A and B are shown apart, each in its own frame.
Chain A
């Protein structure tokens, strides 16, 4: 760029004309000071509100501290909390519920989201308006979404049962989405898919738009069928983007709390009790602080590992 070299030489001339000590104060040292003055508040805030509590959680996880009985002495119990968390069948049950929820919601979101992105990428008239409409659910408050879906799912008065009855002919009052142990795990999947398919769709769309047209033109010259083009060009090119979306959704859904808490609050029984709801019960209803801290640390480590992979994937996609 000719502009920048002109500026550079100008800057160098100006720097040369300035006395050595002054130029250092203005350029070298002041930049370094500014760096720390600018970054320190953010880091301090995060240390106070994220890292300090994290360290406290780790410390609590080795004790039998109970928040509602803090006057009673606290004893170190070593790894006892970790042992009881990992051998607790209820925890393993909620892990299974979480796994079911994460697996199926993401699978359906990927299939639907990718399909929608392919369709939107056909650039029909009005596609950007409809894209904005489709994106709306993911911006809403998960808590409010959980609340109004619990209304839609009401067996007698809810709209959902009547729509299903209208389409399939099944009696509207013959099934209960959030009251039935077989259907409730699918109810939370359904709402998550409604809410987050747009997320996967948007990221896939970015992937599709990143494919240069020339690749398709070359495939056309080679007389590759549409089907073949899809599998050898489209899918591999979109895959890194899709992975990013999957990883992010997996992390978010692994720690899912708000939507499920308001839709089913873990019920009926504990059929939809995802691990965050178990954690809330242990920590804020049974007040088993030590025990729940151990569970929290186990979740941290899992999410932190996933976050590590996530950042690597982010950079890989970015550097393409």
Chain B
């Protein structure tokens, strides 16, 4: 709204009100960012700095947290370390300066990769199934439509721990426990309800006339769906996909109960990163930072569609 039209409105707040409101909101925003900034900083501390009393705000940055996150190490005597050939990389040198040697890579890379595979796999399936069902619900007369839509939504409302008991038993029978496929199917089932509801909202907004015109031009119904509706819905599909991806990426309850090795994702893994004598907080913070960066990027990309996503498409802007 430009300043000249705003001046006529009695509803437009005075400049002072605006300034005060802005100040209060910025204060809240900065305060709520403190924990995230602190975790980001902790990732660059040395283990002793991370647990110093009182907490250190100023410190010498170190990559030790990230090195510890990606490696497993063992403690050795100074004599043994002195007898080794010269360290070949900066991180080996860093580890040796702590009287340790690198024993091998840690499981973090594998867990992160699992999160990516399960996240993208389940998102692709959920959006694929969701867009088909949403199109049918949006365009055709489906018997018991509202009941079916409610059924689809209600599956999302179930407490995960309660569903986990029989799924645990079922997966054990089918050999799906602790497999990537099992987790992809499970997250697809949880996400497909969100996908159907969101995509139905997006497809409802595309005028039917486009497809009808295309069908007059000789397209079949399926071609009209494929070549007319899908391109029109691409923004909605992208937004839905990101929501599904974020859910799968963040999920913890199923992951911790149904996976332990092979298919474990990052959320159950990050909290149990342990160093010598307790939790290795810089490594945990480093893992947290790497885990949260994609979410921050996606949130910024999604900001126009957030409201829709968190209310299952009920509210738009």
Q: Counting CB contacts under 8 A, is A185 at the interface?
A: no
B29: chain A residues at CB < 8 Å are 130, 133-134
Contact with B along A1-25 (1 / 0, CB 8 A): 1011001101100100000000000
Q: Mark A292-319, 1 if CB is under 8 A from B, else 0.
A: 1101110110011011101100100110
Q: Is B108 part of the binding interface, using a Cβ–Cβ cutoff of 8 Å? A: no
Flag B183-223 by CB within 8 Å of A: 1 or 0 each: 00110110011001000000000010100110110001110
Given contacts A119-B24, A143-B271, contact A292 B307 (CB under 8 A): no
A43 and B148 form a contact (CB under 8 A)? yes
Q: Does B231 contact A (CB under 8 A)?
A: no
Point out the residues of chain A lying under 8 angstroms from B185, CB to CB: 45, 49
User: B residues within 8 A CB of A243?
Assistant: none
Which residue of A49, A67, A151, A203 contacts B311 across the interface (Cβ within 8 Å)? A203
Collect the chain B residues with CB atoms within 8 Å of residue A255's CB: 159-161
The answer, yes or no, to whether A107 is at the interface (CB within 8 Å) is: no
Given the complex, which residues of A lie within 8 Å of B140, measured CB to CB?
A: 31-32, 34-35
Assuming A132-B299, A141-B250, A241-B315, is B35 touching A194 (CB within 8 A)? yes
Q: Is B155 an interface residue (CB 8 A)?
A: yes
Contact A206 B267 (CB under 8 A): no
Choice from A38, A197, A213, A297 contacting B136 with Cβ under 8 Å: A38
Q: B135 on the interface (CB 8 Å rule)? A: yes
- Chain B, residues 1-34, CB within 8 Å of chain A (1/0): the string is 1000000011101000111011011101100111
Which B residues lie within 8 Å of A10 (CB)? 213, 216
18 interchain pairs, CB-CB under 8 A: A7-B216, A14-B216, A34-B221, A39-B133, A39-B136, A45-B185, A46-B155, A50-B158, A52-B170, A57-B162, A116-B28, A128-B303, A143-B252, A151-B281, A199-B310, A279-B161, A300-B158, A304-B157
| Interface status of A72 (Cβ within 8 A of chain B) | no
Task: Given the known inter-chain contacts A45-B192, A49-B185, please indicate yes or no for A314 contacting B9, CB distance below 8 A.
Answer: no
- What's the Cα separation between A157 and B311 when bound, in Å? 39
B300: interface (CB < 8 Å):
yes
* Nearest B residue to A137, CB-CB: B32
Whether A41 pairs with B129 at a CB distance below 8 angstroms is yes
Residue A53 at the B interface, CB < 8 A? yes
Partner of A148, one of B35, B133, B251, B257: B35
- Structural contact, B158 and A54, CB atoms closer than 8 A: yes
- Please determine whether A147 and B34 come into contact, CB atoms closer than 8 angstroms: no
Q: Which of B11, B33, B310 contacts A213 (CB 8 A)?
A: B11
Which of B95-117 touch A at CB < 8 Å? none
Question: Closest CB-CB distance, B179 to chain A, in whole Å?
Answer: 14
By the criterion CB–CB under 8 Å, are B25 and A143 in contact?
Answer: no
Give 6 nearest A-B pairs by CB, closest first: A124-B22, A53-B166, A296-B162, A143-B252, A141-B250, A255-B159
CB distance from B194 to the nearest CB of A (A): 12
Question: Nearest Cβ distance between residue B33 and chain A, in whole angstroms?
Answer: 7
Complex contact A258–B252 (CB within 8 A): yes
Distance of A56 Cα from B163 Cα, bound (Å): 10
Contact B26 A130, beta carbon cutoff 8 Å: yes
A residues less than 8 Å from B160 (CB atoms): 255, 257
Contacts A148-B35, A203-B311, A244-B314 given: A122-B13 contact, CB under 8 Å? yes
CB <8 Å contact, A257 and B161:
yes
Chain B residues with Cβ under 8 A from A296's Cβ? 159, 161-163, 165
Question: SS class of chain A's interface: helix, strand, loop or mixed?
Answer: helix
Residue of A nearest to B1 (CB): A123
Residues of A whose CB lies within 8 Å of any CB of B are 1, 3-4, 7-8, 10-11, 14, 26-27, 30-32, 34-35, 37-39, 41-43, 45-46, 48-54, 56-57, 60, 67, 116, 119-120, 122-128, 130-144, 146-149, 151-152, 154, 156-159, 162-163, 172, 194, 197, 199, 202-203, 206, 209, 213, 216-217, 220, 241, 244, 248, 251, 254-255, 257-258, 261-262, 276, 279-280, 283-284, 289, 292-293, 295-297, 299-300, 303-304, 306-308, 310-311, 314, 317-318
Interface residues of B, CB < 8 Å — how many?
109
Once A43-B148, A147-B270 are accepted as A-B contacts, the answer to whether A34 and B253 lie under 8 Å apart by CB is no
B181 CB-CB contact with A under 8 Å: no
- With a CB–CB cut-off of 8 A, which chain B residues contact A248? 311
Contact among A130, A154, A258, A317 for B253, CB-based, below 8 A: A258
Q: Could you tell me which B residues sit within 8 Å of A by CB distance?
A: 1, 9-11, 13, 17-19, 21-22, 24-26, 28-29, 32-36, 38-39, 42, 50-55, 129-130, 132-133, 135-137, 140, 142, 148, 150-155, 157-170, 185-186, 188-189, 192-193, 196, 207, 209, 212-213, 215-216, 220-222, 225, 246, 249-253, 256-257, 267-268, 270-271, 279, 281, 284-285, 288, 291-292, 295-296, 298-300, 303, 306-307, 310-312, 314-315, 317
Which residue from chain B places its CB closest to the CB of A1 in the assembled complex? Answer: B209
Q: B267 contacts which of A1, A41, A141, A293 (Cβ < 8 Å)?
A: A141
Contact yes or no, A120 B25, CB < 8 A: yes
Q: Which residues of A contact B33 (CB under 8 A)?
A: 133, 136
Contact, CB under 8 Å: A26 / B220: yes
Task: Check B35 against A314 for contact (C-beta < 8 Å).
Answer: no
Contact of B152 among A11, A42, A54, A151 (CB under 8 A): A42
Query: A317 near B315 (CB under 8 angstroms)?
Result: yes
B56 to chain A, nearest CB (A): 10
Q: A39-B137, A41-B132, A42-B152 are in contact. Are A279 and B157 (CB under 8 A)?
A: no
Whole-angstrom distance between the Cβ of B159 and the nearest chain A Cβ: 4
* A60 x B166 contact (CB < 8 A): yes
Check A50 against B137 for contact (C-beta < 8 Å): no
Residue contact A147 to B284, C-beta cutoff 8 Å: yes
- Nearest Cβ in chain A — how far from B314, in angstroms? 4
A139 near B291: Cβ-Cβ < 8 Å: no
